[in-house]
C-alpha cells in the first residue's frame, strides 16, 4: 500500500487546495450578496439570483466534494502510516482540521440562509469571517512542514500577529473603500 503513498498524498493535497479555494470564495459571495441587498430593484433581485446560483455551484460542485475527498485521502494516508497518530504535531494538526470542518459547516449554515435570502450578517462581519480559512491554512501548513521543530510559542505568536495584520488590512480596505466606493 505504501507504494501508492505519493499518489494518495498528491490527491489529498489537490483536494485540500480546492477545498480551501471554495472556503476562500464562498464568504466573498456572501459579501456580494449582502451588498446586492442594498441595491434598488430590479438590480437587487437580478444580483441576488445570480449570486445564489454562483454560491450553489461553488458549494455543491467544488467545495463539498473537495472537503469529502480531502478527508477520505487523509484517512487513507493515516491507514498507510498509523504511526503518525502517535506524533504530537499530528494531534495538533487534527485539532486544526476539526476547526476547519466546523468552519466549513458554519459556512454551510450561512449558505443555506443566504439561499433563502435570510441575511443576518453585515459585510464587515463577513470580511472578518472570510479570514478564518486563512488563519487555519497558515496554522496547518506551518505545522505540517515544521513538525517537531515547530516552536509552539512562536507559532501561537505568529498566528496572533497574522490575525492582527489581517484585521488591519480589513480596516485599511474599509478606509480606502469609503473614499472610493468602486474599490
Angstrom CA distances, 67 to 11, 21, 22, 98, 154, stand at 12, 11, 9, 12, 29
Asked if residue 93 belongs to a known ligand binding site, the reply is yes
**Contacts for 69 with CB less than 8 Å, ≥ 6 apart:** 11, 15
- CA 55 to CA 112: how far, in whole Å? 10
Angstrom CA distances, 77 to 2, 111, 133, stand at 9, 31, 23
Q: Which of 138, 105, 136, 96 is nearest to 26 (CA)?
A: 105
Asked if residue 104 belongs to a known ligand binding site, the reply is no
- CA 142 to CA 32: how far, in whole Å? 31
Question: Which segments of the chain does DSSP mark as H helices, in order?
Answer: 5-36, 43-57, 64-80, 88-115, 123-129, 132-146, 152-179
Q: Which residue ranges are tagged as binding site?
A: 12, 93
As annotated, the binding site for heme includes: 12, 93
Amino acid at each position: 500500500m505504501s507504494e501508492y503513498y505519493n499518489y494518495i498524498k498528491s490527491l489529498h493535497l489537490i483536494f485540500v487546495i480546492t477545498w480551501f479555494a471554495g472556503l476562500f470564495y464562498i464568504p466573498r459571495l456572501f459579501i456580494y450578496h449582502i451588498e446586492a441587498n442594498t441595491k434598488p430593484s430590479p438590480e437587487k433581485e437580478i444580483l441576488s439570483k445570480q449570486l445564489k446560483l454562483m454560491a450553489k455551484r461553488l458549494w455543491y460542485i467544488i467545495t463539498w466534494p473537495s472537503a469529502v475527498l480531502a478527508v477520505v485521502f487523509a484517512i487513507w494516508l493515516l491507514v498507510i502510516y498509523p504511526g503518525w497518530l502517535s506524533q504530537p504535531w499530528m494531534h495538533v494538526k487534527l485539532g486544526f482540521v476539526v476547526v476547519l470542518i466546523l468552519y466549513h459547516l458554519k459556512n454551510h449554515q450561512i449558505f443555506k440562509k443566504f439561499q433563502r435570502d435570510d441575511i443576518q450578517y453585515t459585510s464587515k462581519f463577513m470580511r472578518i469571517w472570510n479570514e478564518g480559512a486563512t488563519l487555519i491554512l497558515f496554522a496547518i501548513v506551518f505545522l505540517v512542514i515544521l513538525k517537531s521543530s515547530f516552536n509552539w510559542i512562536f507559532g501561537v505568536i505568529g498566528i496572533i500577529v497574522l490575525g492582527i495584520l489581517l484585521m488591519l488590512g480589513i480596516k485599511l480596505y474599509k478606509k480606502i473603500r469609503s473614499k472610493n466606493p468602486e474599490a
